[in-house]
A and B are shown apart, each in its own frame.
Chain A
Amino acid sequence: MVDYITILIYALISIVVFAVLLSTVAVLTLAERRISAFMQDRLGPNRVGPWGLLQPVADGIKFIMKEDVIPLEVNRFLYILAPLMTIIPAMLAFAVVPFGHDLFLRGRVINLQVANFDIGILYIFAIAAMGIFGIIIGGWASNNKYSLLGGLRSASQFISYEIAMSLAVIGILMVYGSLRLNDIAQYQGSLWFGFIPKWGILVQPLGFIIFIVSVYAETNRVPFDLPEAEAELVGGYHTEYSSMKFAFFFMGEYANMITASALIATLYFGGWQVPYLHNIGFIFPKLGIFHLQQWLVALIEILSFAIKVGFFLFLFLWIRWTLPRFRFDQLTDLGWKVLIPLALLNIVVTGALMMLRII
């Protein structure tokens, strides 16, 4: 028998997650400009609404009102398909990210995530890989040498860094023994020597560095934003795009950033875990138990997840306005000659430590 109420609850969760994701994208476009301004001792957009908070609305209206130009010589089908292929996977990938303990609701177990797949992290990699096709196809369909170069760069960059990223995650999978992100987050609540939470950053410090560098390359952010290097390629893959099609590329990039931040937080910073917080309340070793309602626990966990993701989003912007862009040969050098060997080393070391039962 189909449990309609459970389906309804998950539908509600997915709508809320989608709305939060879209509004975070909107806020991020503003935050990018404000934070870059503050880092350069400027003020940034502060005219529309209090602190410029309505600026994304103004931008959205502007994007919709703009003329939607389709150049004559483009491949029309692929040209229109490309922005959709960028934004849809970017929105889908967030589905498996958990943001709280399971809730027990009148005999039903509700996961605080849209979909609790067995393949969890593989799903994110698969969907994120689809997103890159949008960029490559967009670069090809535009019939423009700069766009094509941007698309090609994106392809080779993606191939180089996808390997390092997956290898870095293998270390995590070895330690936590599950592909489900919810299980991984759950496991990070357990304690090491009785008092240190077993967060990924402590268990896999080298893996974390490899993962975060590869993620920056995967999301095409500075210092690896070569596909859209404006100094060399005009606008890269989205040179020929205007109006909402450009906005889709733009939103896709930010949505990818959010998913990447959520992934970093989930794999290496405990996801929704707060140290010593379990589903009955805080349990301090040797100090006793501090009981909390499960709603309160869920709220604290969602808040903790939001803070972690927020910090990593800030880190994305912070790094963007600090570092210069890599040269293309340096980029591939770093990917193939440094990150992949280090990731392999990480797997070997992790295996050895697991054999010695240290982690």
Chain B
Amino acid sequence: MSSEKKKYRFTEAVYLIEILRGLSVTIKHFFIKRKFAINYPEEKLRITGNTKQIIQAMDKDAQYLAERPEIIMNYRGKHRLLFDGDLIRCVACKMCETVCPFFAIYIEPEESRDPRKERVPKIFELDLTRCAYCGYCVEACPENAITMTSDYSLVAKQRPELVLQKETMRKVIE
């Protein structure tokens, strides 16, 4: 038991007035339009802003509520493989496969038919059920061939759908 009793102001001691104050807070939130939850499959998060903007906005709480950027641009989501026109950038050097802490990437190289490259991946598999989205593969890549998008909505009915293939990760850069 505490030896000293806290001194209360009169309004706090009566308790009922403080209850009214509390009730006014909750009713304000009851009528507030902006809800933090979104109706997920119908609504999705807006992709705006970057980390710096978000930190600035969070400093001013009210402003943060009003114009909260919902997802940052450099968010680490689903991967993509870049293609220069028809030609894949990847040279099947297996740097990403080596650096991946979760063994999520599997590459099988083959000889390139294009004169500009020696080898290209025949199979490039990325298992999203293993991936932790650490982004090491992106940093390890010497050719900037693999990058990440802000696509966070990874839903599938069967597990094989979550193993990305070369074709499903294709992103053509003009």
> Are B23 and A41 touching (Cβ within 8 A)?
no
Which chain A positions have C-beta within 8 A of B34? 41
CA of A37 to CA of B36, assembled, Å: 10
Query: What is the minimal beta-carbon distance from B99 to any residue of chain A, in angstroms?
Result: 40
> Does chain B have a CB within 8 A of A318?
yes
Q: Which of A37, A41, A209, A321 is close to B16, meaning CB atoms less than 8 Å apart? A: A209
CA of A41 to CA of B36, assembled, Å: 6
Query: What is the minimal beta-carbon distance from A213 to any residue of chain B, in angstroms?
Result: 9
> Are A319 and B35 touching (Cβ within 8 A)?
no
> Are B19 and A323 touching (Cβ within 8 A)?
yes
> Does chain A have a CB within 8 A of B39?
yes
Instruction: Convert A41-52 into 0s and 1s, putting 1 for each residue whose CB lies closer than 8 angstroms to a CB of B.
Output: 111001000000
Instruction: Convert A8-47 into 0s and 1s, putting 1 for each residue whose CB lies closer than 8 angstroms to a CB of B.
Output: 0000000000000000000000000001011111110010
CA of A318 to CA of B25, assembled, Å: 11
> Are B39 and A46 touching (Cβ within 8 A)?
yes
Which chain A positions have C-beta within 8 A of B37? 37, 41-43
How many residues of B are in contact with the other chain, CB < 8 A?
Answer: 15
Name which residue of chain B comes closest to A44, CB basis.
B37
CA of A318 to CA of B29, assembled, Å: 11
> Are B27 and A41 touching (Cβ within 8 A)?
no
Query: What is the minimal beta-carbon distance from A32 to any residue of chain B, in angstroms?
Result: 13
> Does chain A have a CB within 8 A of B10?
no
Instruction: Convert A312-332 into 0s and 1s, putting 1 for each residue whose CB lies closer than 8 angstroms to a CB of B.
Output: 000000110111000000000
The residues in B between 88 and 134 inclusive whose CB is less than 8 angstroms from any CB of A are none
> Does chain A have a CB within 8 A of B8?
no
Instruction: Convert B1-33 into 0s and 1s, putting 1 for each residue whose CB lies closer than 8 angstroms to a CB of A.
Output: 000000000000000100100110111011010
CA of A39 to CA of B27, assembled, Å: 7
Query: What is the minimal beta-carbon distance from B81 to any residue of chain A, in angstroms?
Result: 37
Which chain B positions have C-beta within 8 A of A209? 16
Which chain A positions have C-beta within 8 A of B25? 322
> Are B26 and A321 touching (Cβ within 8 A)?
yes
Which chain B positions have C-beta within 8 A of A40? 29
Name which residue of chain A comes closest to B16, CB basis.
A209
> Are A319 and B29 touching (Cβ within 8 A)?
no
Query: What is the minimal beta-carbon distance from B34 to any residue of chain A, in angstroms?
Result: 7
CA of A43 to CA of B16, assembled, Å: 29
Which chain A positions have C-beta within 8 A of B22? 322-323
Which chain A positions have C-beta within 8 A of B26? 39, 318, 321-322
The residues in B between 22 and 65 inclusive whose CB is less than 8 angstroms from any CB of A are 22-23, 25-27, 29-30, 32, 34-37, 39
Query: What is the minimal beta-carbon distance from A97 to any residue of chain B, in angstroms?
Result: 26
Which chain B positions have C-beta within 8 A of A319? 19, 23
CA of A209 to CA of B34, assembled, Å: 34
> Are A322 and B19 touching (Cβ within 8 A)?
yes
CA of A61 to CA of B35, assembled, Å: 30
> Are A42 and B35 touching (Cβ within 8 A)?
yes
CA of A323 to CA of B36, assembled, Å: 22
Which chain B positions have C-beta within 8 A of A323? 19, 22
Also in contact, A43 and B29, with CB within 8 A (given A322-B19, A323-B22): no
The residues in A between 161 and 212 inclusive whose CB is less than 8 angstroms from any CB of B are 209
CA of A323 to CA of B18, assembled, Å: 10
Which chain B positions have C-beta within 8 A of A318? 23, 26-27, 30
Name which residue of chain B comes closest to A319, CB basis.
B23
Q: A318-B26, A319-B19 are in contact. List 17 more A-B contacts (CB 8 A).
A: A35-B30, A37-B37, A39-B27, A39-B29, A39-B30, A41-B32, A41-B35, A41-B36, A42-B35, A42-B36, A42-B37, A43-B35, A43-B39, A46-B39, A319-B23, A322-B26, A323-B19
Q: What are 9 A-B pairs at a CB distance below 8 A?
A: A39-B26, A39-B27, A41-B29, A43-B39, A209-B16, A318-B27, A322-B23, A322-B25, A323-B22
Give the 8 A-B CB pairs with smallest separation, nearest first.
A43-B37, A322-B22, A322-B26, A39-B26, A42-B37, A38-B30, A39-B30, A41-B36
